[in-house]
């Protein structure tokens, strides 16, 4: 499986692709999503994650046929989070010892 290089934060996708396509301001989108403008702005500017609750809101807002599936938005967030974590992963993790194989004939 190919590794993605620096996956985008899902807020970037919302900010750069979704809101312009729908011709919506942050305030209008926040109102339609039922969240505060501040909360949506935090997601759009990568200061907050897309939570399961937010993913469900996006799903209800966009619809599953228009790219709004909650699991998709959570997967995007997970990909982003894992990439960020790998950049800062501890380098000195000692591997767990492997137990000796048990001889079935004994």
Mean predicted confidence (pLDDT) in 54-67: 95
* Mean model confidence pLDDT for the chain: 92
pLDDT at 88: 87
pLDDT band, very low/low/confident/very high, at 17 (cuts 50, 70, 90)? very high
The residue behind tokens 């969240």 is 35
CATH superfamily of domain region 10-87 = lambda repressor-like DNA-binding domains (1.10.260.40)
Q: Given this model, what pLDDT does residue 25 score?
A: 98
Q: Where are the domains of the chain?
A: 10-87
Whole-number Å distance between alpha carbons of 33 and 6:
28
Higher pLDDT, 10 or 2: 10
pTM, two decimal places: 0.83
Residue 34 has pLDDT above 80, yes or no: yes
């Amino acid at each position: 499986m190919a590794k993605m290089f620096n996956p985008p934060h899902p807020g970037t996708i919302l900010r750069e692709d979704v809101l312009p396509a729908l011709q919506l301001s942050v305030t209008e989108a926040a109102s339609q999503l039922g969240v505060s403008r501040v909360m949506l702005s935090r997601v759009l500017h990568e200061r907050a994650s897309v939570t399961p609750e937010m993913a469900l809101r996006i799903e209800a807002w966009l619809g599953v046929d228009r790219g709004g599936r909650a699991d998709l938005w959570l997967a995007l967030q997970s990909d982003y989070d894992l990439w960020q974590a790998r950049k800062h992963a501890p380098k000195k993790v000692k591997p767990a010892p492997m137990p000796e194989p048990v001889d079935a004939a004994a």
